[in-house]
Structure formats: C-alpha cells, structure tokens
Structure 1
Amino acid sequence: MPTPPTDNQAAIERAIQQGLETERRSPAANADLERLTRQLRYREAVDQRWLRLGVGAIVFVLSAGWLAADVTLTLAAGWGELGGRPFRLDSSVLVAFLTTSTATVIGLFLVFLRWLYPQTNPPEERQPESERR
C-alpha cells in the first residue's frame, strides 16, 4: 500500500511541476524578449533620427545667421555705414573676424557631420597610415 505524501514530498513535486512549466514557457519568453529588443532598437533609431534632424536644423540656422553677419559686416565695411551711421573697421580686424568665423562655421559643420555619419568600422579594422600608401 502506498504511503500518503508528506508535506516535503508535496512541496518537491510542486517545485518540479513549476520548473517543467517554466521550461515549457521559455521559448515563448525568448521570442518575447527578441520582439521587445527589436521594438526598443526601432524606437531608439527613430528617436535618434529626430534628434539628428533637430540638431541639424539648429546647426544650419546658426551657421546661416553667422554667415549673414559676416556678409553684413563686410558690406558695411565696404560702404562705410551700418544702419545709417558711419562704420569703419581696420582691415586687419575685418580679416581676423572673417577668418575666424569662417573656420568656426566649417568646424561646426564637420563636428556635426562626424556625429551624423559616424565611422562604423572599429579601430582594429582600419589600416594604419603607413599601409595606405
């Protein structure tokens, strides 16, 4: 005659049943995890696209304003007046301002473009400069 199950045996059997149920569900859980991972990657890509679009618009407006100021300053120096008032700058000041502002705008665009289009290959795969020639 079989002995009635004790509390310890019942607890062990329940743990085994729960473990079996968990193993049966794990492929579905892996599929859910992969689906959630794909969703998160997609959301990240969309968010990054909007961020880059916004930053690109800001960089463009900033650069356009800066270059408009350069043109205005150059024309004002050439005509000798700005807003109806006499305007005069030494040529070395004008050259220094135009040179530094142009370099700043070009540098701003280069930094933005490096961020917008990052290099995807890791440093180990890049050829050293001595091997490029």
Structure 2
Amino acid sequence: MVDVHVETVINRPPDHVAAYAGNPDNAPEWYSNIKSVQWHTQPPMTVGSKLAFSARFLGRTLDYVYEIIELSPGQRLVMRTAQGPFPMQTTYAWTPEGQASTRMVLRNTGSPAGFSKLAGAVMAPMMRRAMRKDLRKLKELLESR
C-alpha cells in the first residue's frame, strides 16, 4: 500500500483555490506530470463523472480514467481509478486557514500489483517529491493572480 500526503497553505480563499484546483481542465497547468485531460462524461463534474488523464511518470506515459467518487464543492474531491498496474485514489481537501487563505491537502493512495508492488516502496518518495512540486506550482499560480 502506498499512501502519500502533502499539504500547503495558499494565500487565497478556499472557494477560489477549490474552483481552480478542483477543475480537471486546469490540471496540466499545475501538475508537472499530467499532459492532458479529456472528459468521458459531460461537465459539470458530479459524483460518477469520468475523466481520462495522460501523464508521464518515470519516463513512461500513463493513461488512466478517474471516476469522481466524492464531491463536496469547495471542501473535498475524491477520485479513483481501478484499471492498470497501480490503482490509485486521489483526494483534494480545502480548509480555511486564517482570514483569506486555504490549507490544501493532496493525498494519493494505492495498492500496486505485480511488479509495481515491488516498486511501491521506491515510488512513494518519488510521488511525494512530485506532489510537493505540484502544490508549489499551484500556490505560485494562484498567488500571482
């Protein structure tokens, strides 16, 4: 089992941060590994919505479909993919921090299978580094607007 959790405080209100970070169309702007996102269901996003992501990680292209399994606008978004060698669940949580800032938590959990199971212990630190970098980029983008 891999469970990686990172967080940051962004100097913007929670509704602003959640609206941007929770919009999958914006993911390629702040996730360094995500190259594209395609809707498999019609927007707007609701529980049951499906989105295809194409990413680069460890020199490989990974294509996967996330399904939205929990959505509390402005507070929490949970999406899960079941296919592939590394099924993953991604959680975003946004909470107020002070008067006009947001604590954003990004968490990825998964249970690798086969060869990926052996790579799981090595992947967690790499994922943590990438996730920290992505949150820094998100913070920079939102605080410069």
Which TM-score band applies after superposition, normalised by the shorter structure? Answer: under 0.3
Q: Which has the higher strand share?
A: 2
TM-score, normalising length from structure 1?
Answer: 0.25
Q: Which has the larger radius of gyration?
A: 1
TM-score, normalising length from structure 2?
Answer: 0.23
Larger RCO: 1 or 2 (CA < 8 Å, sep 6+): 2
